[in-house]
């Protein structure tokens, strides 16, 4: 059987720019920061008091009150994204075989808000006051399961949890399922809502976050010499992936083709990347090989680009190892400079942005790039978006545990 091709036909996003793909893409194009002081809880006693928080998210705008109470915030984000992606794909689910439509939603942490609140309930009010909805709300697979229930999707459905590589892993395995005939359509991506007191405290204790409380919009500065940590974010990004002939038969609009997936592990350290970027470079090479492309055919890289002292020079080194002389001709940017780091959802949001980049011919910038770092010497599309023809692009995500997951998207033809 010839290898089935996979295309992107629908996009959905919840981000620090708000609900929807439009505010996300407009924010990225304009080079705006979505970082702001935390309002979800009182953070005055925390060493970090800002984040990429989804602004003014009202569950009652999307769900009945009783229904909303039974979804953790991470699931609410996923459900809102899935419906936007379905509408964007102009997908009539009554006209397709629902048993051939799957859902794979990655998350690094899952329903932390519910877990945290119910632990407090247990200790303050006793075992009898713990909610019977605790388990189905905290489960890391709840977002994907609830999307399937809401939309009536009966195909393959599971969760991928690989820290900050979760969404890229979810997208990659979904693409392979379609390619090998296990599904015709998959809703795939990631959702994360770990911006809670415990979540923030944990990353503060790990000394992973920027502490620019006096200037939060300039805190995320990937590849800049004065970076001091990543900015915690939340949100979700889901894509409708579809077998190409299936999409063409129903007259779907196609953003781009999804052609390559590579994943490896550093086998080095639970939180630090490999000192030579070895696992990251192997994942990029594997994605290129899967797509059948030579390194010279890639025009743009949406970098992991976390704004940490360790990641940015090692990712630069890994890109150089893979692309050789062509590395100097690549446009490389980190949209985390504007959204912050959405953990397990980051690859989902970045795949949405990459799909728009290819379709619209525009590379988003790396904002807050002011002082070059000698160890980071590529073209990072500094501060302003760049109009350019993007024939093929790579998206990198790397996660705690040494997980590396890289995707190749290209112009559909």
Q: Which residues are catalytic?
A: 164, 304, 341
Contacts of 81 (CB under 8 A, 6+ apart): 12, 13, 14, 189, 191, 236, 237, 238, 348
The alpha carbons of the chain give a radius of gyration, in whole angstroms, of 20
CA-wise closest residue to 287 among 267, 305, 302, 273: 302
Q: How many CB atoms lie within 10 A of CB 58?
A: 10
CA-wise closest residue to 349 among 203, 218, 254, 239: 239
Q: For residue 315, how many C-alpha atoms fall within 13 Å in the half-sphere facing its CB? A: 29
Q: Are 10 and 253 in contact (CB under 8 A)?
A: no
3-class secondary-structure state, position 314: helix
Q: How far is CA 95 from CA 98, 153, 178, 249, in A?
A: 9, 12, 18, 12
Helix (H) or strand (E) holding 45: none
Q: How many CB atoms lie within 10 A of CB 172?
A: 27
CA-wise closest residue to 348 among 13, 18, 88: 13
215 — phi, psi (to 5°)?
Answer: -155, 60
């Amino acid at each position: 059987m010839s290898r089935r091709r996979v295309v992107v036909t629908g996009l959905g996003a919840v981000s620090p720019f708000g609900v929807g793909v439009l505010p996300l893409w407009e924010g990225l194009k304009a080079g705006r920061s979505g970082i702001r002081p935390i309002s979800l809880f009182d953070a005055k006693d925390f060493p970090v008091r800002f984040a990429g928080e989804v602004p003014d998210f009202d569950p009652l705008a999307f769900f009945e009150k009783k229904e909303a109470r039974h979804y953790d915030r991470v699931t609410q984000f996923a459900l809102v994204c899935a419906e936007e992606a379905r509408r964007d794909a102009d997908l009539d689910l009554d006209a397709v075989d629902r048993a051939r439509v799957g859902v794979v939603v990655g998350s690094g942490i899952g329903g932390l808000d519910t877990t945290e609140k119910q632990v407090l309930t247990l200790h303050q009010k006793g075992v009898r006051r713990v909610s019977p909805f605790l388990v189905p709300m905290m489960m890391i697979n709840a977002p994907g399961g609830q999307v399937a229930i809401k939309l009536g999707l009966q195909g393959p459905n599971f969760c991928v949890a690989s820290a900050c590589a979760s969404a890229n892993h979810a997208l990659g395995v979904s693409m392979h399922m379609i390619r090998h005939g296990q599904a015709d359509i998959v809703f795939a991506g990631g959702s994360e809502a770990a911006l809670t007191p415990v979540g923030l405290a944990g990353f503060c204790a790990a000394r992973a976050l920027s502490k620019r409380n006096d200037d939060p919009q300039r805190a995320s500065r990937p590849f800049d010499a004065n970076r001091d940590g990543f900015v915690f974010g939340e949100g979700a990004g889901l894509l409708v992936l579809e077998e190409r002939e299936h999409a063409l038969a129903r007259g779907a609009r196609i953003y781009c083709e999804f052609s390559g997936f590579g994943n490896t592990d550093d086998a080095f350290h639970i939180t630090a990347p490999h000192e030579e970027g070895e696992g990251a470079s192997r994942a990029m090479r594997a994605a290129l090989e899967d797509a059948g492309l030579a390194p010279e055919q890639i025009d743009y890289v949406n970098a992991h680009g976390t704004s940490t002292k360790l990641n940015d020079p090692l990712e630069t080194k890994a890109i150089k190892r893979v692309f050789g002389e062509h590395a100097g001709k690549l446009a490389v940017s980190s949209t985390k400079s504007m959204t912050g780091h959405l953990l397990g959802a980051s690859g989902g949001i970045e795949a949405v942005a990459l799909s728009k980049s290819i379709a619209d011919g525009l590379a988003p910038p790396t904002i807050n790039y002011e002082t070059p770092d000698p160890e980071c010497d590529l073209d990072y599309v500094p501060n302003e978006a760049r109009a350019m023809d993007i024939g093929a692009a790579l998206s990198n995500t790397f996660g705690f545990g040494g997980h590396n997951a890289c995707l190749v998207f290209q112009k559909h033809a």
